[in-house]
Amino acid sequence: MEILLVLLGPTGVGKTEWSLKIAEAMGAPILSADSRQIYKGMVIGTAAPTAEQLNRVPHYCVGTLSPEDYYSASEYERDALLLLQELYKQYPVVIMSGGSMMYIDAVCKGIDDIPTIDETLREELQQLYRKEGLDCIRQQLKILDPVFYNEVDLKNPKRVIHALEVCLMAGKPYSSLRTNPKKKRPFRIVKIGFTREREELYERINRRVDQMIEGGLVEEAKGLYPHRHLNALNTVGYKELFDYFDGECSLDFAIEKIKQHSRNYARKQLVWFKKDKETIWINLSDEDEDIIERVLQLSGHS
């Protein structure tokens, strides 16, 4: 049976480089499970693979969409499964690497059968959001689905708006539709999580942000600034710099906020991933362990 080797972990842990090394050792392509690296023009801020890294191993779902494109975890599930079907004609193993929790769960477990949203409704809610702000959307969601209202990140426009879209489209609470059992897949899934000692992880995150700034993140964000209202750009690394461009804070303050918010996101990722008992964890701080050999053994390719 074909294998989907899922390499997951928090931001800054080192997934990109280790995924490349493992992919080279296995002769496998990499399917990105990063909900921001999938967009074009956001290379530095999302720590997307470099041109050299893309040349080392075939990559998929990197830089394929415009930031203006609407894209959801359910659409990623659909596209990834179709892509895997083709890749397995050539490769016995495909590596899925990333830290977007919903994307990984969508492919490994399946996502609930949510109705297709009418484009007219979607545009109406987007216009309402732009005109009156997120609080108006939140209040409608609170009335139509108080259960999900108490679960969702109320500061995340994409999640809040999508939930309201579903409520209005289905005529029932979004939470009532999120009950489907885990879907069976025609391939074997092996999940390996990368982690590090917390102090080391935070140091790596801070250092990476400094490297992004040195590498031109401010200039990249300036180019994207006219599109700052797009959901794709409601992302750590860009939204803090947009505040700086708006004169709301200094550049140094924005950089510190990027580091803080990145560390917070890493904690959130670890909490989410640790709930999955199927994941086998490897601590990259353990220099004595042969990481590649360990992964090959766990995936049955030693």
Q: What is the pLDDT of residues 133-143, one digit of tens each?
A: 999 999 999 99
Provide the residue type at 89 as one letter: K
pTM of the model: 0.82
Name the band, by pLDDT with cuts 50, 70 and 90, for residue 302: low
Contacts (Cβ under 8 Å, ≥6 apart) of 99: 8, 9, 10, 11, 15, 33, 34, 269
Distance CA 244, CA 266 (A): 23
Q: What is the 3-state secondary structure (H, E, C) of 216-281?
A: CHHHHHHHHHHHCCCHHHCCCCCHHHHHHHCCCCCHHHHHHHHHHHHHHHHHHHHHHHHCCCCCEE
Q: At what angle do helices 198-214 and 251-274 cross, to 10 degrees?
A: 140
Q: Tell me which residue has tokens 């930031």.
A: 67
Distance CA 200, CA 285 (A): 8
Q: Which residue has the higher pLDDT, 286 or 254?
A: 254
Contacts (Cβ under 8 Å, ≥6 apart) of 125: 137, 161, 164, 165
Distance CA 109, CA 76 (A): 13
Query: In Å, what is the CA distance from 198 to each residue of 181, 194, 219, 265, 287?
Result: 34, 12, 31, 13, 16
Distance CA 198, CA 202 (A): 6
Q: What is the pLDDT of residue 267?
A: 94
Burial class (CB in 10 A: 0-12, 13-18, 19+), 30: buried
Q: What is the pLDDT of residue 49?
A: 95
Question: Helices then strands (H, E): number in the chain?
Answer: 13, 6
Give 282's strand partners.
194
DSSP string, 69-133: S---HHHHHHHHHHHHHHHTTT-SEEEEEE--HHHHHHHHT----PPPPPHHHHHHHHHHHHHH-
Domain 3-111+190-298 has CATH 3.40.640.10: no
Distance CA 66, CA 51 (A): 19
Domain ranges of the chain: 3-111+190-298, 119-177
Check pLDDT > 90 for residue 102.
no
Query: What's the average model confidence in pLDDT over 196-219?
Result: 97
Domain 119-177 has CATH 1.10.20.140: yes
Mean pLDDT across the chain, nearest whole number?
A: 93
Q: Do 3-111+190-298 and 119-177 agree at the fold level? A: no
Please check whether residue 44 is in contact with residue 216, taking contact to mean a CB–CB distance below 8 angstroms. yes
What is residue 177's DSSP assignment? G
Burial class (CB in 10 A: 0-12, 13-18, 19+), 45: buried
Of 70-79, 200-209, 215-224, 273-282, minimum mean pLDDT range? 70-79
* % of the chain residues with pLDDT over 90: 77
Provide the residue type at 8 as one letter: L
Distance CA 56, CA 21 (A): 9
